[in-house]
Amino acid sequence: MKSISFTTGEFKQEKTSAWLVAFVKYAQKLDFVSLLDEVKVKMKKVDYSVRHKLVTLAISIAAGCEYTSDINEKLVPDTVVAELIDIPRFPDQSQINELLRRMTNQNVEQLKNVHHQLFMQNAACLSAMEKVVVDIDQSGLIANGKTYETAQKGYFCKKKNQKGYQLSAAFCGGKNRETISLYLDPGNTHCSDRFDDLLNDTLAKLKDVARESRLILRLDSGYGSEKNIEKLKNKVKFVAKGYSTTRAANIAKTIAKEEYEEIDRFVDTYELPSEGSLRFVIVRTLTRKGDFVHTMLISNISKAEMSTHELFHFYNQRQTIEAFFNTCKNIYHMKNLRTRKFDGIHAFLWIVFITHNIISWMKNTVFHETDMENVGIGTLINKLGTLVAEVRRTAGTIEIVLPEISALARKFVECMQQKPKSIWQT
């Protein structure tokens, strides 16, 4: 058997990530890179501008970096992708860490504005002719270290006695899957505290959709207070779970067993007689212990538009935003907060939301009507993104060569070859 030895040296053949090349070129077509000049962080430019560092952070998210330290291994060696944003190589983790430490509330607002401009120019839900469904929800981000700014104890799903933050978000589900807005608060913040902000941001972005009565908000019980329902009932269509389970249980005592409509073996519904513009549906769920749990759905959508049965199933499709939070935490690795500075964390979350939209728009346009259109984000980042491609340069072109043995690589190449070459010109 031949002996094996290890050494380091320069590659004779350049290597790159075909996924990141495509992501960066598409982001440039959307003017994402140039828009980042609006973010004015107080830092001296030595080798890299603030724009270069912010783009690096976005690319690190698209590359599946779990921590900023992963930039050193995943991005710094890739000089081909770095060349696309006009730098010889990516900045290392220390410079990205310093960028996040220098972030201020003003910078957070600047990134919010970048997100807004990209959304208004590219969002698929703005041009959709069908109904647009927006989910509003909150998700906890655990940060137990003593030096995390403003972190507080609060409710974190299935986690007790934890400190951290609450991320409130508005998200357009369905086939578009676009982020609309976000807010970051200490862990003891109730979700309803950000309801007005998220509602106003949603209506500002989707005012034309709302005016045409095609916008529907879908809300968890945390937002289902009488005060919030009153704000919504004459402004926009919605379906919300009622805040009080006690009220639902008390009403259920007045409903005969035969009056319920069976949804499946474990769930029944009963719609109360109409009270003005609002509809109230009692949902009775049989638990494993043999007890009944009662909740209430509230909506201003007419019965002609959505039956009781349809209303129930429509509300249960809220899991789209829950799946989005799962993607953010486990694929974009948002749960690893990158810094202990509150404004830095908030800014990082905006970069995550912007990066997600860019990937979603890429799937809806570049990958449209190809075998890549239905490939999940996890597959793009964790499988396609890890495939090493060779780079072959000629006088006027850069050829990216992926391994033919990979079925995913073959699909990706076929997709890229179907698109106009102008998309990929450097």
Are 235 and 309 in the same domain? yes
**Does 185 map to a domain?**
no
Are 365 and 399 in the same domain? yes
With 0-12 CB in 10 A as exposed, 13-18 as middle and 19+ as buried, what is 336? middle
pLDDT, residue 49, reads 95
Number of Cβ within a 10 Å radius of residue 107: 24
pLDDT, residue 12, reads 61
pLDDT, residue 277, reads 87
pLDDT, residue 413, reads 92
Q: 384: which 2 tokens?
A: 């396609």
pLDDT, residue 88, reads 94
DSSP state of 422: G
Are 309 and 381 in the same domain? no
**Does 325 map to a domain?**
no
Q: 251: which 2 tokens?
A: 């009403």
The domain boundary residue, chosen from 313, 344, 371: 313
Strands in 204-260 per DSSP E: 215-219, 237-241
Are 285 and 251 in the same domain? yes
**Does 292 map to a domain?**
yes
Are 307 and 343 in the same domain? no
β-bridge pairing 267-271 and 279-286: antiparallel
Are 357 and 299 in the same domain? no
pLDDT in tens, the chain (426 residues): 566 655 556 556 789 999 999 999 999 999 999 999 999 999 888 889 999 999 999 999 999 999 999 999 999 999 999 999 999 999 999 999 999 999 999 999 999 999 999 999 999 999 888 899 999 999 999 998 889 999 999 988 878 889 999 999 999 987 789 999 999 999 999 999 999 999 999 999 999 999 999 999 999 999 999 999 999 998 999 999 999 889 999 999 999 989 999 988 899 999 999 878 899 999 999 888 888 999 999 999 999 999 999 999 999 998 889 999 999 999 999 999 999 999 999 999 999 999 999 999 999 999 998 989 889 999 999 999 999 999 988 877 888 999 989 999 999 999 988 876 655 555
β-bridge pairing 215-219 and 237-241: parallel
What domain range includes position 409? 15-105+336-424
By C-alpha distance, which of 166, 184, 49, 174 is closest to 105? 184
**Does 143 map to a domain?**
no
pLDDT, residue 20, reads 97
**Does 75 map to a domain?**
yes
The domain boundary residue, chosen from 282, 313, 344: 313
Q: 334: which 2 tokens?
A: 């948002």
Integer Cα distance of 324 and 310 in angstroms: 23
Are 226 and 309 in the same domain? yes
pLDDT, residue 1, reads 55
Are 20 and 100 in the same domain? yes
Integer Cα distance of 370 and 363 in angstroms: 10
**Does 156 map to a domain?**
no
State the total domains in the chain. 2
β-bridge pairing 398-401 and 388-393: antiparallel
- Which position has the token pair 């095609």? 214
Q: 419: which 2 tokens?
A: 């698109």
With 0-12 CB in 10 A as exposed, 13-18 as middle and 19+ as buried, what is 420? exposed
**Does 279 map to a domain?**
yes
pLDDT, residue 42, reads 92
Residue 296 CB contacts under 8 Å (≥ 6 apart), including other chains: 241, 242, 244, 247, 248, 251, 280, 281, 282, 283
**Does 63 map to a domain?**
yes
Give pTM, 2 decimals. Answer: 0.93
